[in-house]
Structure 1
Amino acid sequence: MPRSPNDLTLMNHDRSIASKIVELIQADGMEVGSHLPAQMLADRLRVSRSPVNEALSLLHEKGVLSRERNRGFFLARPVEAPLSDVVDALGLAQADVVTSVYFRIADDLLKGALPQAFSEQMIRTRYGLTNAQLAAVLGRIAQEGWAERKPGYGWEFSTMLTTPDSLLQSYRLRLALEPAALLEPGFRLEPSVLARCRAAEQHLLDGGIQTDTADQLHERGVRFHESLVEASGNPFFIDTIKRVNRVRRLLSYRSMQDRQRYTKHCKQHLQILNLLEKERNEEAAEALRAHLKHTLDALSRIAGILKP
């Protein structure tokens, strides 16, 4: 029996989520045997558990994951090849189309080439999308907070964080918040989280700065900083930093045109981790403040590439 359009949309959405799960596996440097809890993935990808469970089942069918009764899914084999190669090998190429168009829309928005309000038909026609691809692209954009459906009909892009000043303002907020998180009374950075963060930085220093996609670079940076704030145990800090990271994504991608600064960033991240491992939190907070100030100054100097 032929699949309905809704079935195809759901199938392609599951493939897109599966591709993002593979990307997270690589970004976190997960080893064979690592547990992939559905709720954790749903929180990380900001989707419900249902599509995550479908994507996990798909990756299980592909042999990437194993499944244990009453325990869930575990990484069955290494996922070390470049993401695009893994996606092709697993037949998840639909996600590549979605990602490509996602970045084209982001760039066009920052160039001022798209109207603030838009229809699905306009996006479908302009970028040559199928209904399934359109649903996946708009779903991702909505999840990341830079567009939303208007009451009644059509869509509207958010005006937040589409100018260079907006990105700099977000860093000034982080400069006030993140170092303070390290000084919270309940701060505790689990050894497993510390090891994961350290491995991600080493991956970048070993060549990932040049080879990782903008998606991967952004996700690694987000996970480092969110992991530190999450260790504070303060839900107000955690919610604020996640909201900021969700909406600063657009300009963060464009700033990645200049990757020379990432080597120094990685070394600063490793220094902060070393201090936290030794429970020298006040020194770590000062190092984090200096790191964010360095990034803010660097972004101020390259503001030209953030402009339309």
Structure 2
Amino acid sequence: MHVDLSVPERIIDLIRADGLPVGSHLPAQMLADRLRLSRSPVNQALGLLHEKGLLHREPNRGYFLASAIEGPPDELASQLGLDEGASVSATYFRIAEDRLKGELPDAFSETLLKQRYGLTGAQLQSLLNRMSHEGWVQKKPGYGWEFSPMLTTSESLLQSYRLRLALEPAALLEPGYRIAPEVIARCRAAEQHLLQGGIQTDSAGQIHERGVRFHEALVEGSGNPFFIDTIRRVNRVRRLLSYRSTQDRKRYRQHCEQHLAILDLLEQERQEDAAQMLRTHLGDTLRNLKKISKILKP
């Protein structure tokens, strides 16, 4: 059975970013929802990680983390025999960068990517699956692929943050707002992981996904599908520029501290104070992005 090797790597990234301890349960549906995949590739990836000894399986209960996720991502991928998945991820970021530079056309064939990046057929399908699931490429009717309309200028990224500044704090003030204690604990563990060294060692993808999961978790507490859908859409289309913005990581310690302060306020059910803190946090991020706008330019 062919396993898309980018999926086990993404599951490892999620475990690492959430700071999950040994013994943590890893329900397939939860992983599928968070990675925006169907259960089939997730189940295949869990089976592979079980074979590698990273997970153990309990009958009628599913998979559990068997050993700690430690060491640099590249070393871990090599130890687990997932080098091909790591290679696919590296190519993924090359494609993202080339797209931002305008070096890839709006529409493209599989042959173009295969030849340009020296890919095997399996690697090509892993990349297309991941990019398609993340919403920045789509299959054309009939033949070929095309890039989805994305944020590709520094000004468009700033515009997306202004939209988020208007919406996200308001979501925290929705009637009946509630964020589950286990979600707060998961988000807090992810921030503490970064403060304990992850800021320097995590990949651009891990840094981005950690931020996406935090902000979407906050908005999901509103229970308002219009807020939730809008923020998810914004996060999908800002993905490429957000990856590039992680080149400057000096600001992430402040990000983490502000995220933890927001979680503390929500845990105390101080929604108005949390909304104000979130407004301050997004405003600070917007000002910082303006300072590094040269990084975001092709």
In the alignment, structure 1 residue 127 sits paired with structure 2 residue 117: yes
Would the aligned equivalents of 2:19 and 2:190 in 1 still touch at CA under 8 Å? yes
**SS at 1:148 equivalent:** strand
Match of 1:176 among 166, 183, 186: 166
Q: CA offset at residue 211 of structure 1?
A: 1.4
Deviates more, 1:244-253 or 1:189-198: 189-198
Q: CA offset at residue 54 of structure 1?
A: 1.0
Partner deviation per Cα, 1:32-70 (whole Å, 9 max, x = no partner) = 221111111111111110111111111111221121222
Distance 1:146 1:306 in 2: 18
Q: CA offset at residue 82 of structure 1?
A: 2.2
Match of 1:260 among 235, 250, 255: 250
Distance 1:171 1:84 in 2: 32
Partner in structure 2 of residue 193 of structure 1: 183
Match of 1:53 among 40, 43, 46: 43
Partner in structure 1 of residue 104 of structure 2: 114
Partner in structure 2 of residue 281 of structure 1: 271
Corresponding letter in the other structure for 1:113: E
In the alignment, structure 1 residue 63 sits paired with structure 2 residue 53: yes
Q: CA offset at residue 28 of structure 1?
A: 0.7
Deviates more, 1:151-160 or 1:275-284: 151-160
Partner in structure 1 of residue 153 of structure 2: 163
Partner deviation per Cα, 1:242-300 (whole Å, 9 max, x = no partner) = 22212211000111111111111111111111111211110110110111111112112
Q: Number of aligned pairs? A: 298
Match of 1:94 among 84, 90, 93: 84
Corresponding letter in the other structure for 1:129: L
Distance 2:113 2:131 in 1: 12
Partner deviation per Cα, 1:194-217 (whole Å, 9 max, x = no partner) = 122122212212222111110111
Partner in structure 2 of residue 250 of structure 1: 240
Match of 2:9 among 19, 44, 48: 19
In the alignment, structure 1 residue 77 sits paired with structure 2 residue 83: no
Distance 1:119 1:275 in 2: 50
**SS at 1:66 equivalent:** strand
Partner in structure 1 of residue 260 of structure 2: 270
Partner deviation per Cα, 1:203-242 (whole Å, 9 max, x = no partner) = 2122221111101111111111111112222222222222
Give the root-mean-square deviation of aligned CA atoms.
Answer: 1.3
Partner in structure 2 of residue 151 of structure 1: 141
Distance 1:174 1:227 in 2: 14
Q: CA offset at residue 186 of structure 1?
A: 2.2
Partner deviation per Cα, 1:11-48 (whole Å, 9 max, x = no partner) = 3x1x2211111111111111122111111111111111
* TM-score, normalised relative to structure 2: 0.96
Would the aligned equivalents of 1:160 and 1:166 in 2 still touch at CA under 8 Å? no
Corresponding letter in the other structure for 1:216: Q
* TM-score, normalised relative to structure 1: 0.93
Partner deviation per Cα, 1:116-165 (whole Å, 9 max, x = no partner) = 11111111001000111111111111111111111111111123211112
Distance 2:54 2:227 in 1: 35
Distance 1:206 1:34 in 2: 20
Distance 2:23 2:197 in 1: 25
Q: CA offset at residue 187 of structure 1?
A: 1.6
Would the aligned equivalents of 2:18 and 2:193 in 1 still touch at CA under 8 Å? no
Distance 1:109 1:16 in 2: 20
**SS at 2:129 equivalent:** helix
Q: CA offset at residue 114 of structure 1?
A: 1.2
Gaps of 5+ in 1: 1-6
Q: CA offset at residue 105 of structure 1?
A: 0.6
In the alignment, structure 1 residue 28 sits paired with structure 2 residue 18: yes
